[in-house]
Amino acid sequence: MNIKKVLKSTFVSIIAVLAAANLTALEVNRNELESAPNGDEVVFRNYSGPHTVINTIEQIRAIGSALGNQVKANPENTGLIGSPNKYSVIHAIDPSTKEKMDADIFIIGKGATVDHITNLRRIISAYLESAYGYSTKDAGTIATFITVYNAVYRGKIEYFQSKYKDIVIKNLSASIVGLSTNYEEWPGKTQIVIPLSDLSGGLSTIDTSLISDKQVVKSMQGEDDKGIDARKDMVDIKEREADNLQEKADSKQSKADEEKAKLAEEQKKKAEADAAAAKKKADADKAKAEADKKKADADKAKKDARANPNDKQAQKDAADAQKEADQAQKDADQAQKDADAAQKDADEQAQKTDEQAQKTDEAQKDADQAQAQADKKRDEAQEERTSIAKDQQSLIREASYTKSGEHIMYGLKNVDDEGVMSAIVKMNSVNGAVIKESPVDVIRCRTVFDDGSWFIAVAGSNAANGVVRLVQIDKQNLEISAESNEKLSDLSTLVEKDGSYYCTVQDGADYYIGKFNNTVQSQLISKVKVKGATPITITSQGIMVTSANGKPIILSLEDLTSISPE
């Protein structure tokens, strides 16, 4: 028979004392064991207990798909879609301005029942697939980062004002913008901002740089696995984005090169036009000088003719000189017209050259901007790959330090001020470092039993879609691996004897004692009604409980029938 070990909340205090001990010899590893958890870490508190109604993954994803299909049908329309009381999206876009970001605002209404970050990510992932054509894997990765991003910047309206367009900001509320890390604060208090980069759809629709900034990555590094898988998937997305952006940059550079070739041709034409205009101007200046000289000669000849009116030769010379002057002036006028025409051509060519220079400059700036975007994505991917490699080495060292299990200790910690709810914590018993916390933070009666490969506990909540059941918790991942079919009293205690577990079963308004095996399957249910909060005391003579009428009675260990007098 296996010896069962009961874990109590007080064990955490014992571990805390151990952590204070002088452990100089192990200090070199302690920093790595404790490096991840910090004040910047985002830890989502989910409801991880049993549910009254369990939706399938397909049903959960259908919520996001329905919203996404509506956006896909009218991608250029701004407005609210979906059910404000459940799940809705504000598609907030403003094509009139390129400054700052457009966004989709995913809203969790007061009537929504999502209570686990995994399911919330499934909804967002399906939305991204339907609205913008992402693959299932890429959408899942981006949804993960979107939730962490919104948790990191929860309530920081100044941050959102610095990044997003007015059309986005006017739909945000400082008190609920972003995502709380506590699922209980999601309904009616959530505005998840999804930054939109390229409304044409495709891999770069969502701004991956924004949702994976240093603060977001730093937060993910605080997770047990340092978020490595999701971060690697994001690196893969960014590398593909970089490839796509590089293709665009190359195409735009080719266009810029074409514009440069056109500019060179226009510059050549301009040089030729300028040279022709200069030559024509020189010819016009020369013709004018000749015309001026001929005019001066004609004026002198006319003066001589006036001085000698009877001198026929003088009169003839004056007439001939005037003819030459008139012809020279005519030639000068024509030369000036030719010069003006050449200058006009040169001016027109100069304008064409300037226009082409502007086109070339714009094309090159466009190409440079596209190249900068491609380089930015590739640099981000490379930087994150380096960071991931370091974190992987850290995890390997941590795993080698703790894999023997010799220094592993499990205990319970309170998750509420009243001490009603607890969660299992896996700790290093040498230095007191937390190795892992169970996501199941609704363990009741401050008791769990170690049953080899798993723990047995009463867990759950009657709030919303929750229910209290007997559960089996896997010792490796500290998550629920099985749960009873029977509903339990939320005041039930849990007692173990000879490999069987006893607790208080609820059936409507009545309560009974139930006997379960270590796979949380019921073996016996008493026919005698008991108090919902009855203590359960087991001895070799029987099981003492409090009946529904308040009297103490003893139940048989064999069949749970009452052996007390009526």
| Phi, psi torsion values for 357, nearest 5 degrees | -65, -40
Is there a single domain that holds both residue 31 and residue 66?
Answer: no
Alpha-carbon span 456 to 424, nearest angstrom? 11
The DSSP result for 40-57, as a single string, is T----B---S-BSS---H
Q: Which helix (H) or strand (E) holds 14?
A: helix 10-19
Is residue 226 assigned to a domain? Answer: no
Distance between first and last Cα of the chain: 36
Q: Exposed, middle or buried, 326 (CB in 10 Å: 0-12/13-18/19+)?
A: middle
**What are the pLDDT digits (tens) for 91-113?**
999 999 989 999 999 999 999 99
Q: Which two tokens stand for residue 58?
A: 């397909």
Per-residue pLDDT at 47:
80
Is there a single domain that holds both residue 473 and residue 547?
Answer: yes
Q: How, if at all, do strands 443-450 and 102-108 pair?
A: unpaired
**What are the pLDDT digits (tens) for 61-89?**
999 999 999 999 988 889 999 999 999 99
| Phi, psi torsion values for 58, nearest 5 degrees | -65, -40
Is residue 452 assigned to a domain? Answer: yes
Q: Which two tokens stand for residue 301?
A: 């000849």
What would the mean pLDDT of 514-531 be, rounded to a whole number? 94
Q: What does the DSSP 8-state code read for residue 106?
A: E
What would the mean pLDDT of 222-230 be, rounded to a whole number? 85
- Using alpha carbons, select from 13, 22, 19, 113 the residue that is nearest to residue 63: 113
Of 400, 419, 442, which residue sits at a domain end? 400
Is residue 414 assigned to a domain? Answer: yes
Domain total in the chain = 3
Is there a single domain that holds both residue 396 and residue 424?
Answer: no
Instruction: Indicate the pTM of the whole model.
Output: 0.68
The tokens 């940059």 sit on which residue? 249
Is residue 235 assigned to a domain? Answer: no
Evaluated on CA atoms 298, 300, 305, 311, the torsion sign reads negative
Alpha-carbon span 59 to 65, nearest angstrom? 10
Alpha-carbon span 490 to 254, nearest angstrom? 70
CB 533 within 8 A of CB 503: no
Is there a single domain that holds both residue 534 and residue 450?
Answer: yes
**What are the pLDDT digits (tens) for 299-345?**
998 888 888 888 888 888 888 888 988 998 998 899 899 989 989 99
Alpha-carbon span 29 to 397, nearest angstrom? 8
Of 364, 385, 400, which residue sits at a domain end? 400
Residue 22's pLDDT band, with cuts at 50, 70 and 90, is very low
The tokens 């991942």 sit on which residue? 477
Is there a single domain that holds both residue 173 and residue 312?
Answer: no
Q: What does the DSSP 8-state code read for residue 193?
A: E
Q: Which helix (H) or strand (E) holds 231?
A: helix 228-307
Is there a single domain that holds both residue 179 and residue 249?
Answer: no
Per-residue pLDDT at 34:
30
Alpha-carbon span 453 to 307, nearest angstrom? 139
List 427's β-bridge partners, or say none.
Answer: 409, 434
CB 356 within 8 A of CB 268: no
List 191's β-bridge partners, or say none.
Answer: 107, 178
Is residue 50 assigned to a domain? Answer: no
Q: Which of 9-13, 203-207, 474-478 has the lowest mean pLDDT?
A: 9-13
Range of the domain at 141: 57-221
Is there a single domain that holds both residue 175 and residue 188?
Answer: yes
Is there a single domain that holds both residue 213 and residue 160?
Answer: yes
Residue 351's pLDDT band, with cuts at 50, 70 and 90, is very high
Is there a single domain that holds both residue 515 and residue 551?
Answer: yes
Residue 407's pLDDT band, with cuts at 50, 70 and 90, is confident
Is there a single domain that holds both residue 351 and residue 264?
Answer: yes
Is there a single domain that holds both residue 307 and residue 387?
Answer: yes
Alpha-carbon span 232 to 237, nearest angstrom? 9
Is residue 328 assigned to a domain? Answer: yes
Of 356, 374, 400, which residue sits at a domain end? 400
Alpha-carbon span 129 to 324, nearest angstrom? 89
Residue 401's pLDDT band, with cuts at 50, 70 and 90, is low
Is residue 342 assigned to a domain? Answer: yes
Return all residues near 352 (Cβ < 8 A) that are at least 6 apart. 266, 269, 270
Is residue 227 assigned to a domain? Answer: no
Return all residues near 533 (Cβ < 8 A) that are at least 6 apart. 489, 491, 492, 504
Q: Which two tokens stand for residue 411?
A: 């205990």
Q: Which two tokens stand for residue 375?
A: 């380089």
Is there a single domain that holds both residue 271 and residue 394?
Answer: yes
